Amino acid sequence: MNPQKAVLLVGSPRGNKSVSRTLGERLMSGLAARGTAVETHSIYGAWAAEAKMTALLEAVDAAGVVVVSFPLYVDHLPAPVMRLLERIADRRAGKTPATRPLLAALVQCGFPETLQNQPAVDIMERFAEAAGFAWAGALALGMGGAVQGRLKDKPNGMLRNVVAGIDAAAAALAEGRAIPADAVETFGKPLMPKRLYVLAANFGWRQEKRKNVRRVDLYAKPYEVTRPGTSR
């Protein structure tokens, strides 16, 4: 096992355009800048081809740091991510390595509140314990959609806490330490006032409706059941 190797597993179906990959690669860049060899694999892509899955699993076997980056699906991990974790756990069953690799998570959601990610973080921690990893903590973020396309070399002020949290996490992981609590707190701070985020999100939904939905009432309730004596 090479403690100087880090592997990023991206668990988003959007691939290279996903927020999960954007955040994960920022973390990998921080590790690479500190002398850690880094490697990235798409979980969805690995399920599409057994050769890619084999390469992913072998990369995990050789890594000293494994980072799983994914979007929240309601309050859980995406199904392909869960299936991969099960496969990794089966592969590691019965093995007693001299040192346990670090496992960290990056999870973000479209809900305004970062706290919505907590069940997924708890699942990742439980997986780490069951599969023989050393749990290194998670960076969780609400309002994840606002990150898209904005996390560049010099991001705007809205993302300053995101960048600060990722950079602090990279520094710790590169030294074999868990992500510090203050990095988790900084990363998870709201990107903007909740009312403003909801306003922008609703505007975005209306724009998508105009582009993709024609002659359909999004507010229709064709199966709504009314109580006797009431009218619709």
SS (H, E, C) the chain: CEEEEEEEEECCCCHHHCHHHHHHHHHHHHHHCCCCEEEEEEHHHHHHCHHHHHHHHHHHHHEEEEEEEEECECCECCHHHHHHHHHHHHHHCCCCCCCCCEEEEEEECCCCCHHHHHHHHHHHHHHHHHHCCEEEEEEEECCHHHHCCCCCCCCCHHHHHHHHHHHHHHHHHHCCCCCCHHHHHHHCCCCCCHHHHHHHHHHHHHHHHHHHCCCCCCCCCCCCCCCCCCCC
CATH homologous superfamily of 2-192 equals Flavodoxin domain (3.40.50.360)
Question: Looking at residue 228, what is its pLDDT?
Answer: 66
In the chain, domain spans: 2-192
Question: Looking at residue 16, what is its pLDDT?
Answer: 84
Question: Looking at residue 205, what is its pLDDT?
Answer: 65
Question: Looking at residue 152, what is its pLDDT?
Answer: 66
What residues in the chain have per-residue pLDDT under 70?
1-3, 98, 149, 152-156, 203-205, 208-209, 214-216, 218, 226-232
pTM for the full predicted model = 0.86
Question: Looking at residue 1, what is its pLDDT?
Answer: 46
